[in-house]
Each structure stands twice: as C-alpha cells, then as structure tokens.
Amino acid sequence: MLTTRTVRIGSRKSQLALVQSHWVQAELQKAHSDRTFEVKTMSTQGDKILDVPLAKIGDKGLFTKELEVAMLANEVDFAVHSLKDLPTNLPEGLMLGAVTEREDPADAMVVHPKYQDLKLETLPAGAVVGTSSLRRLAQLRHHYPHLTFKDIRGNLNTRLQKLDEGEYDAIILAVAGLQRLGMGDRIHQIIDPDISLHAVGQGALGIECRADDAEILALFAPISHYPTTQRCLAERAFLRELEGGCQVPIGVNTAIEGDRLTLKGIVATLDGQTLVRGEVQGSVTQSEEIGTELANQLKGKGAQAILDAIVAEFR
C-alpha cells in the first residue's frame, strides 16, 4: 500500500539540472496523480569549483556526493542526474533506479559568428576551441592537430557568453544539453560520432535512489526506457571495467538493431596521438557482459598502458 507522503526529488541548482529534474517531476506527476512531487536543490563540489579543470580536482562524484548524502539521510527520496555525471560505482545503499529515454548523445560545435560559414574540419590553424572534456580533447586533437584547444568551465550560459565575447572561436558541447535548454538553434555542427565518440551515458538521465526503497522504485516504471537502459548499462560496464573517470579519455557509441546490441569504444592518450578502438556485438539482454568484454579487448590492445600512464600523471 503506497503512502501519500510528498516525494522529494534531489537536484543540483544549475539551469540544466533543474530543467531535467522538473521534467522528471512533471512526468511522474502525470503518471501518479495521487502523489505530490517536489524538487529540493543543493550545490555540489563540482558546481562550486569553476576555475580548475575537472581532471585536476577529482572524479565524477564531484557532481553527485551531496545528493547521495541527502538520500542516505532520508532528506530526499531520489536524485536526477545527467547519467554521464553518475559514477559507475555507487555508494553502498544506493542504486541506479531508472534510465530515461535518451536524447541525441552526440557532441556539437557552437561557433563565434565570424566562423559561421566554416565547419570543425575547415576552421583555420590556431583557431581556439573550448572544451572541458578530456575525451573530446583527445579525439579532436587526433583528428584536427592544427587547432588550439583551451579548457572552459561554467554553466552553459557562461560558456556561450565566453564564446560570443571572443575568448573562444568555437566550443564543443553536448547536443542533448543544448536541446533541453531550448538552445538547439545554437548548434552549428553535430560532430560525426566516429570522430568524437560520446561520453558514457551522454544524453540520458539517471535516477539514483535508495536500494531498499521499493515504494520509490515502483514509481519509476513510466519513465524507464528499456533500449536506453540496456545501451547505458553496456557503456557503464565498459567504463567500470576500465576504471575510468573524468580524467580518462574514454568514448563510446551504442546501437540496438532487433535483439542485437553493438558497443563501440575508445581509449585515447591525452595528446591524441594514440587511439585504441574496438567493437563488440551481442544480445541486448547481455549488455553488461558486452561492456566488460569490450573493456578487456581494449586492455589487450594497449589501453591498460594508456590508463596507467594517465592515472600516474594525475596522481
């Protein structure tokens, strides 16, 4: 028997986080009209440290720890995350309760007006491209060594302002984030997925909750999306086996055709000189096994040496 207490949703305070959390709130409210859902916001460490590259200040837990503490203390019932920000190993007592249908997981280029007639591949030598992602940085350095890459932090509006003011000639952002914020018109070019494999979980929302809270878990069925879930479970297993976080250039691409899931993956050196690629196919019901198999395949091709060198560099 369900209780009638208000369900509390934990969210970061950023504009994108709030848009995502309020979307989940609205969808659950439609599905469960007898319940009341409210959003409670809090700042995470990753939101507070904006002047240091992410790779130098820690792993993905920077954007989730405060929300997880609140869940374990029963201050909120679940948290909404961009799934790409959620670590693959969760604290004891918490679990990934649902994954929503994925938006386009690709990366996008947004340009300064002076380059509106150019594409990423035709930007002039020395053009300054902003990204805070080592995954994007390594792959783009590999394909476009003539460009100059510069770290960029801050929320989406801050990054776009820095671009428009001329600090950057172009910036690389997630298609999904721009679309969710109603800024899809700023997308100048969607980057070929084979040029820039996307982040694990990119474009999907992950709902994290207490593992023993069956009442809350039961609420998620209307917003859970099976194909996205299986794709993201494969991606997360791949990342988990490689023990990668923000400071490791790891990219993926997944697809489902019929009952077959295909996972492509990449591990890159920071300078983009070496890219180790691989691909594994299998039954959609064996998603995590596919991810683990691909990770071990890439380790055998040299990915382990790359990962060891990167970990040593940031230690």
Give the catalytic positions in this structure: 85
139 token code pair = 């792959």
Buried (b) or exposed (e) across 256-287, using 16+ Cβ within 10 A? beeeebbbbbbbbbbebeebbbbebebebeeb
Cα–Cα distance measured from residue 300 to residue 294, given in angstroms and rounded to the nearest whole number: 10
Backbone φ, ψ for residue 263 (5° rounding):
-120, 120
Which residues lie below 8 Å from residue 285, measured CB to CB, with a gap of 6+? Answer: 230, 259
Which residues lie below 8 Å from residue 227, measured CB to CB, with a gap of 6+? Answer: 256, 284
Q: Are strands 260-268 and 250-257 parallel, antiparallel or unpaired?
A: antiparallel
Query: What SS3 class is residue 6?
Result: coil
Burial (CB < 10 A; 0-12, 13-18, 19+), residue 240, is middle
Query: What SS3 class is residue 29?
Result: helix
Radius of gyration of the chain (CA): 19
Q: Where are the alpha helices (DSSP H) in 116-213?
A: 134-143, 156-164, 175-180
Q: What single string gives the DSSP state of each residue in 166-189?
A: TS-SEEEEEHHHHHHTT-GGG--E
